[in-house]
Amino acid sequence: MGVTWKNLAILCATLGLAGAWIANAPADDEAVFPMPRGKTLVSECGGCHTTYAPGLLPARSWRRMLSELGNHFGEDASVQEPVRLALLKDLEDMAADGAFADLRMRRIAASVPAAATPQRITETAYFRYIHDEVPREFWQRKAIGTPANCIACHPRANEGHYGEREVRIPK
Ligand code: HEC
Ligand code: HEC
């Protein structure tokens, strides 16, 4: 892609302790987040933006989000109660601090202070850290618009695939 991404280890060294929790992540890790079986998450939560993988936020973040869907970032994203409960179960089960979380997800969870309940993946320390090398100008490109538009650069984001090798940055 014409850009040489800094080696993770060097990044961690420069970031010091803040990076310590990701220091052991293998650079060629495939970064695949599990997605729930069935189409409910995609159909209910993928209409306005990327279908974010549950493993990108801790369970308490999803609980809060799903209790406030009537005012979801200024939009009404409410769903019928049975649908809400089904979504909540999947999001909690597969959350960054859920029972099946892998090392990467546990690092995401660990990057969120215990007292915080972030509603934005893009505001977590993990997100900022992993995208530290992405030039500011990229985020503002027309085809991207916002860091929350994962699928603009991670073409298989809706299937939970975020691997570095698949990244394509639109011009
Ligand atoms: C009616 C449209 C709509 C629907 C449906 C919707 N969202 Fe959103 N969502 C938004 C908007 C608008 C934002 C804010 C985007 C921004 O500011 O970049 C957002 C942001 C988010 C973010 C934060 C992204 C970031 O910045 O890291 C998450 C997480 C999220 N939505 C999850 C969900 C989930 C889970 C569902 C299904 C229960 C859902 N959304 C359904 C419109 C929607
Ligand atoms: C402007 C394009 C762009 C957008 C938008 C973007 N990313 Fe990325 N992402 C990248 C690049 C480039 C890398 C590789 C970073 C590196 O290796 O230094 C990356 C790396 C990652 C990785 C680590 C992959 C690995 O193999 O270790 C994850 C996880 C990730 N992004 C998640 C997200 C999520 C979640 C979103 C949306 C909320 C998002 N990204 C939005 C460009 C983007």
How far does residue 79's CA lie from ligand 1's centre (Å)? 13
* Straight-line distance from the first to the last Cα atom of the chain, in angstroms, rounded to the nearest whole number: 11
d(C-alpha 99, C-alpha 82), whole Å: 23
How far does residue 69's CA lie from ligand 1's centre (Å)? 9
Instruction: List the single range of 42-56, 81-95, 133-147 with lowest mean pLDDT.
Output: 133-147
d(C-alpha 104, C-alpha 110), whole Å: 10
Tokens coding 4: 């040489």
Nearest CA to ligand 2 atom 34: 150
How far does residue 41's CA lie from ligand 1's centre (Å)? 12
How far does residue 128's CA lie from ligand 2's centre (Å)? 9
Q: Which atom of ligand 2 is nearest to the CA of 30?
A: 26
Q: What is the pLDDT of residue 29?
A: 61
Q: Tell me: the pLDDT tens digits for 18-66?
A: 443 444 444 446 899 999 999 999 999 999 999 999 999 999 999 999 9
pLDDT band at 10 (very low <50, low <70, confident <90, very high): very low
d(C-alpha 75, C-alpha 72), whole Å: 5
d(C-alpha 102, C-alpha 84), whole Å: 25
pLDDT averaged over every residue in the chain: 87
Q: What is the pLDDT of residue 100?
A: 87
Q: Which residue has the higher pLDDT, 148 or 11?
A: 148
Calculated CA dihedral for residues 52, 56, 61, 63, nearest 10 degrees: 60
**Sign of torsion, CA 112 123 157 14?**
negative
Tokens coding 129: 């850290």
Residue from 48, 51, 126, 127 to probe ligand 1 pocket by mutation (most atoms less than 8 Å from CB):
48
Identify the residue whose tokens are 């090798």: 165
69 with 63: CB under 8 angstroms?
no
d(C-alpha 92, C-alpha 96), whole Å: 9
Mean pLDDT of 94-114: 95
Which protein residues touch ligand 2 with a CB less than 6 Å away? 5, 29, 31, 56, 121-122, 130-131, 133-134, 138-139, 144, 147-150, 152-154, 162-164, 167, 169
Residue from 130, 132, 133, 137 to probe ligand 2 pocket by mutation (most atoms less than 8 Å from CB):
130
The Cβ-side half-sphere exposure at 159, using a 13 Å CA radius, reads 6
- Burial label, 164 (beta-carbon count in 10 A; 0-12, 13-18, 19+): middle
